[in-house]
Chains A and B, each alone.
Chain A
Amino acid sequence: METVLSTNKLTKNFGKIRAVNQLDLEVKRGQVFGMLGPNGSGKTTTLGMLMGVVNPSSGSFSWFGEPATHHTRKKIGAVLEHPIFYPYLSGQKNLELNAMIKGADPAHISKVLETVELADRKDDKYKTYSLGMKQRLAIASALVSDPIILILDEPTNGLDPMGIAEIREIIKRIAADGKTIILASHLLDEVQKVCTHFAVLKRGTLMHIGPVDEVGKGEEIVEVQAYHDDLGVLLQEFVGSATIRKENGIFEVMMKDGFHSKDLNRFLFDKGIVASYLHTRKKSLEKQFLEILADHKS
């Protein structure tokens, strides 16, 4: 697959602080690439360098296999940190301005306003918009040039659950169109739901990079509940259990490799117990994320 972005030892120092440390990333066409990391881990600084607003201290990067210029940025739709618009201009006029800078066809504007469901408020001044509408306008402005790549930085920050769901739907729809998306977030759930690949940053250093699919591989966790007083003791007898935790009256059994929930179910059945609740869980990105960060604590 074609590489759209690659960075080579990209580094940024702010005085003594190293915000981004020798970062090597590669994003291929069609990926939905999640950038994870705690607050202050260098996600926005990295994206700032890629979008030409932060000058790298050392290292380099290339878009579409070529050194970046402002012309390459016109092919990328990006919103960093929070929506930025002229507050005294209407949504429509703000997008017209974006289109002018990007050299995009202004006819696109009505289409992207439809996409983000802002068409009926397009002539109101930006400063009258709610936070959710501002975020949606930001996505519209990123889409206005029909870009090959979309960069979104915390697109659901500060939104209510409905706003979050709306933005997530929009991202999924855009991804289904075959666009490459780079999504920076500290909401792991969000990344797991929409991303195909992810990278984890910690204090500016790359900790992990890989596909999201692989997160679920490996151990299974089975949640069990049954009307039996000694369920905890019984579960320990099961050869497939690695560790057992009890939470809210439910036992969480971490399975050994090669064992699955059906094995546990059969084991209980053989003992004459019928589980009232049985739920198989793959390891969540959250868990993996915390593990990755913990592994590198030393």
Chain B
Amino acid sequence: MLHLLKIDLKKMTSYRTFWVICGIYFFTLIVGAASGMEFLKALSRLIEGFGQQINITRIPLYHFPDVWQNLAWSGGLLKMGLAIMVVVSITNEYSYRTIRQNIIDGMSREEFLLSKVYTNLLLSSISMASLFLIASVTGLIYSPELDFPYGFTGISFYPAYFLEVFAFLSFALMLGIFVNRSGLTIILLLFSYLIELIIKENIDNYLPSIIPFFPLESIMSLVPMPFARYVFMEIQDSVNWGTVAIASVWTFLFNYFAYLKLKKSDI
């Protein structure tokens, strides 16, 4: 496993685009996650009366335990950046035809796919660890009082966030393996939300019960949007294990479809 991961990392670590995309992604993730208060200030400047209606300093954005879900959800918005990186990584292998040479050199098709999947796992883990670190630090800074174990409520959103990122990267990898061309794959990836939304809206009238089973819907629902609680609404503040099960099945299927496609195609 480590060997395959090393092979894929060797391909990427001398590739400037990889560092640029990853740099932008992790910079935005880490700095963005740490700048929540600045966002609120900017928001209060922009929207007249926002500051008066709701006192921004009283919004417990970074207080334990709110910070866990707040940051896990916000971080999830950025996963597209990482997914584009994954698309570039896999479609390069097709456009340079290096996938062919890798297999000629003695990789099996399974191993080739696994090397990409392991990189996805690594990127998802680093995302989760970064976000967890920022949440812990900001939580310690901003929380008026530390009350554990109550403060840990919602920490399970981190494994859920990990699954969210990994599931989406698996989806991007599969699209790349089916489409092979980077531009087209990225457009498909961007449009996939819209396409699923259109289907969902149409189906809503007939079969609303199947909507939670849609792939991107299930991925998005892993960490539900938390901010509605600040306008005194009820929110889902714990991980729904049914959603985890659905998203896990989709993640498995994405990788399995990618495997089947690789297995039967001439490269």
Contacts and interface: CB of A to CB of B under 8 A. Distances in A.
Contact of B266 (A54, A78, A97): A54
Among the interface residues A52, A80, A90, A96, which one has the most CB atoms of the partner chain B within 10 A?
A52
A271 interface: no
A97 B264 contact: no
Given A51-B103, A70-B111, A86-B98, A100 B3 contact: yes
Interface stretch (B10-18, B21-29, B159-167): B10-18
Contacts of A103: 106
A96 B14 CA distance: 13
Interface residues of B, number: 25
Among the interface residues B7, B11, B16, which one has the most CB atoms of the partner chain A within 10 A?
B11
B261 interface: no
B105 A73 contact: yes
Interface residues of A, number: 29
Contacts of A73: 103-106
B14 A98 contact: no
A71 interface: yes
B10 A97 contact: yes
Given A55-B266, A88-B16, A100-B3, A80 B104 contact: yes
A18 to B, nearest CB: 15
A70 B10 contact: no
A102 B105 contact: yes
Contacts of A65: none
Interface in B103-148: 103-108, 111
A93 B13 CA distance: 11
Nearest to A87: B96
Nearest to A77: B105
Contact of A101 (B14, B15, B16, B107): B107
A242 interface: no
A85 interface: yes
A84 interface: yes
Interface string A39-75: 0000000001001111100000000000001110110
A102 B111 CA distance: 12
A268 interface: no
Interface string A140-172: 010000000000000000000000000000000
A71 B10 contact: no
Contacts of B264: 55
Contacts of A97: 7, 10-11
Nearest to A47: B104
27 contacts: A51-B104, A52-B108, A53-B104, A53-B266, A55-B264, A69-B108, A70-B103, A71-B106, A73-B104, A80-B100, A80-B104, A84-B96, A84-B97, A88-B14, A88-B16, A89-B11, A89-B14, A93-B14, A96-B10, A97-B10, A97-B11, A98-B105, A100-B3, A101-B7, A101-B105, A101-B106, A102-B105
Given A73-B103, A93-B10, A100-B10, 18 more contacts: A48-B266, A53-B100, A53-B104, A54-B267, A70-B103, A70-B107, A78-B105, A80-B104, A84-B96, A84-B97, A84-B98, A84-B101, A90-B14, A96-B10, A97-B7, A101-B105, A102-B105, A141-B105
Chain A to chain B: the 10 pairs with minimum beta-carbon distance, closest first: A74-B106, A70-B108, A84-B101, A73-B106, A101-B105, A51-B104, A53-B267, A54-B266, A84-B97, A78-B104
Interface of A: 48, 51-55, 69-71, 73-74, 78, 80, 84-90, 93, 96-98, 100-103, 141
